[in-house]
Amino acid sequence: MSTSSVSEWITRQREQRTLQDWIQDLGPFVMLFGLIVVFTLTTDQFMSEGNLLDNIAKNAVTLLLVALAGTFPILQQSIDLSVESIVLLTGVVTVVAIAELGLGLLAIPIAIAVGMLAGLFNGLVFTKLKIPSFLVTLGTLSVMAGVGKIITGGSTITFRNNAIRAISNGEVFGIPNLVLWGLLIYIGTIILAFRTKFGRYCFALGESERVVELAGAEVDRYKIYPFVLSGLLCGIAGVLLTLRISSASPNIGSGLLLPSIAAIVMGGTALTGGVGGPHRTILGVLVIAVLNNGMNLLAVGSFVQEIILGLVVVAAVALSIDRDKIDVVK
C-alpha cells in the first residue's frame, strides 16, 4: 500500500462500525430506557420521586457495590464468587462491633479491614496455590458465610445508635446518603480502572497473563489486588447495608451473587476478561433494579419475577456479547 492510500485506509477503518458494534455499546441503555418507558406507562407510581430515590436508587446501591466489586476480578479473567459472603461477614462484624463491643465508629474500618483480609486470602490462595479462582471463592463463599453465621449465633443482632446510622440513612439536599456513597465509590472505581496501573493490568491480565509477564510486570501482585479491592467494596457494602437497617441477620447479603454477575455481564464486561469496565456495570445494576421495582409495582409474583429476570439476563447477554472474541463458547 502506498503512503498516499494510508489516509484512505484509515478512513475506511473508522467507518467499520457495524450494527453489532452499536448494539454492543448501546444495548444496555436501550434496555434500561425501554423498561423505564414501559413502567412509566403501565404504573402511576414508577416516576414518583419517592419511588425513584427510596425504592430504586437505595435498593440498587448494595447491588451496585457488590457488582463493582465483582467487576475487577472478572476483568482480569478470574471471578470472585464469595462476594455475598463477604457482605454477610463484614455486616455481622459491623453490628457486633457496635452493639456488643461498643466500638462505635471504629466498627466501620474494622469491618472494611475484615473484608480486605477476606479478599487477600482469596487472592493469595488463588495465586500462590494456583487454584482457579472460581474454586477458591466457591469454597470461601461457604466458609465466610459460615463464620458470619456463627458470630450471629443464628439470630438477628441489632444496635441502636442513630448517629452512626445517619452515615447510611441521612440525606444531603434531599438525596439519600446511601445513594451518594454509591456514586462516590462508583466514580472511584472508574478512576481505578482507567487512571491507575492496577486498572490497566486488570484489563491486560484479562487478555493474556503471559504477555504481561514478559513485559516485566509483577503478575502475582496484580492478580491479588482485584480480590482485595473486591473484599474492600463488599466490606463497604456490608457496612452501609447493616447501618441502614441497624441490624444483621444470618442471611444478609444472600442472593446478591447472581444478580451482581448478571449486572456485570449485562453492562458489557465479558466473563472472558479484558473488555468492559466498572463504568458499564452500573447500567446492568440499574436494569435489574428497575426491572425488580417495576414488577413489584405491577404486583408480579416473586417466582414469576425470577423467571423474567433470568430471561432478561440471557437476552441482554445474547445481544451484547462479542462472539468474535470468544474462541470457544463454554
Site string for another protein, 157-196 (x = CB under 8 A): --------------------------------------xx
Under the criterion CB under 8 A, does residue 128 sit at the interface with another protein?
A: no
Query: Any contact of residue 210 with another protein (CB under 8 A)?
Result: yes
Q: Which of 54, 59, 285, 173 is nearest to 45 (CA)?
A: 54
d(CA 147, CA 143): 6
Please report whether residue 4 would count as binding another protein according to CB under 8 A: no
- In the complex with another protein, which residue's Cβ is closer, 12 or 128? 12
Is residue 21 near another protein by the rule CB under 8 A? no
Measured CA to CA, the distance from residue 251 to residue 229 in angstroms comes to 23
Task: Decide: 298 and 6 in contact? Cβ < 8 Å.
Answer: no
> Is 20 an interacting residue with respect to another protein (CB under 8 A)?
no
Give the count of residues interacting with another protein (CB under 8 A).
Answer: 31
Asked whether position 274 contacts another protein by CB under 8 A, the answer is: yes
Choose which of 9, 22, 29, 33 interacts with another protein (CB under 8 A): 9
User: Taking Cα atoms as reference points, which of 112, 274, 116 lies closest to residue 199?
Assistant: 274
Tell me which stretch binds another protein (CB under 8 A): 72-80, 94-102, 213-221, 298-306. Answer: 213-221
Contact range with another protein by CB under 8 A, out of 69-77, 166-174, 205-213, 255-263: 205-213
Euclidean distance between the first and final Cα of the chain, in Å? 40
Give the shortest CB-229-to-another protein separation in angstroms.
12
Please pick, from the candidates 106, 214, 304, 314, the single residue that binds another protein as defined by CB under 8 A: 214
For strands 157-158 and 171-172, give the pairing: unpaired
Q: What is the DSSP letter of 171?
A: E
Grid coordinates in use for 165? 446510622
DSSP element (H, E) containing 248: strand 247-248
CA distance 194 to 75: 12
CA distance 326 to 178: 38
Q: Is 212 in the site for another protein (CB under 8 A)?
A: yes
Determine if 271 is a binding residue for another protein (CB under 8 A): no
Is 13 an interacting residue with respect to another protein (CB under 8 A)?
Answer: yes
